[in-house]
Structure 1
Amino acid sequence: MAFETWQPGMILTEARLASISPTWQDWTPTWSTSTGANTPSLGNATVTARYAVAGTLVSFRLEIAFGSMTNFGGGGASDNWRFSLPVNAAASQLVAGFGEAQDTATGGTPSSARVPLRVRLENTSTLSLETMGGSTGAAGGYAATSAGLIDAVTPWTWANGDMLRVHGQYEAAA
């Protein structure tokens, strides 16, 4: 049932409650690039992708631990990563959530480098990830890092064990 705002005289039914009660469920994101070339693949990555819809509000969580068979694509800084949304959005959105990227090559958890991320809806069907500042280093310091949209070499050259963790919300398409 599509979401419909409450109107005077409406009757509470099981279907009506289901349409406004969020239920978390899995989704399988498609990983692509801004140009459509140099397509990456998850391989044996561990992916947790969950979302819930309440009315027209979509809440989501995406966590990826990249594996030894992950192909990060070869597009470099000119071919930004994109992930499909679980439900089409009403419009593109500059800020739809936040998260972090983690580079385990710098010493492993908990001493690995982490970079804050902003989730952007590039269009109504995909999200991209943008760095928001420097990284925390192995010694707990704050260091400069590559800025911009995430790709195969930003904010670092990705490798087995590196992670992405993001969450956010957006308005679903009608």
Structure 2
Amino acid sequence: MAYAPWLAGQRITAQRLADISGTWTSYTPTWVGLTALGASASTGRWARIGDTIHVIVALSWGTGSTMGTGALTASLPVAASAAPLSPGGWQGLGRYVPGDGSSWRIMAGLVQPAATTMNAFVVRWTDSGYVNPGTTPTPGYPWAAGSSMRLEVTYEAA
């Protein structure tokens, strides 16, 4: 449901309060770009305050999971606006934690205008540029059972 701005003299209703409360709601994001999801666990939650959407997605890698060779995306609970302030969309941050117990690594999430998915990116160690997780090679990102990743982004709803 699209957010409707407050009008002078408008009554406060339970629905109007819910629209501005930002209550977290769980959802299960759909991931595209994995060769196999295997026994991985996908979780997510989101909150809406007016036309602002806050979303967190996470993937815990299980046995039988394999990364694809290109882009990795997670579905969004609400489509993004087609007219953001920035033509590049909205950027968020994330982290990847290897299953071997070594230090976490930075990731980034990007929501394009009018998108229904968030693209996940990892840092290329040679020049600190962002690349698709399936790009070969991605040193420092051993996509394997026991690893996890989490991305957060705030964007404007359609």
Both proteins in one fold, TM over 0.5: yes
Cα distance change of structure 1 residues 147 and 169 upon mapping to structure 2, 3 Å threshold: closer
Q: Which residue of 1 aligns with 2:71?
A: 80
Q: TM-score, normalised by structure 2?
A: 0.80
Per-residue Cα deviation, 1:65-106 (whole angstroms, up to 9, x for no partner): 100022423xx2xx21111111111137444310111222xx
Q: Which residue of 2 aligns with 1:115?
A: 105
Q: Which residue of 2 aligns with 1:130?
A: 121
2:12 aligned partner, one-letter code: L
Identity of aligned residues (%): 28
3-state secondary structure, aligned to 1:48: strand
Cα RMSD between the aligned structures?
2.6
Aligned 1:9-158 pairs, distance under 5 A = 9-33=9-33, 40-73=35-68, 76=69, 79-91=70-82, 93-104=88-99, 108-109=100-101, 112-122=102-112, 124-132=115-123, 134=125, 147-151=130-134, 153=136, 155=138, 156-158=141-143
In 1, Cα distance between equivalents of 2:137 and 2:57 = 19
Q: TM-score, normalised by structure 1?
A: 0.74
Q: Which residue of 2 aligns with 1:36?
A: none
Paired residues of 2:29 and 2:43 also in contact (CA < 8 A): no
Paired residues of 2:92 and 2:108 also in contact (CA < 8 A): yes
Paired residues of 1:152 and 1:158 also in contact (CA < 8 A): no
3-state secondary structure, aligned to 1:40: strand
What is the Cα deviation at residue 146 of structure 1? 8.3
In 2, Cα distance between equivalents of 1:162 and 1:7 = 48
In the TM superposition, structure 1's runs of 4+ consecutive aligned residues that sit over 4 Å from their partners are 143-147
Gaps of 5+ in 2: none
2:133 aligned partner, one-letter code: I
Paired residues of 1:65 and 1:162 also in contact (CA < 8 A): yes
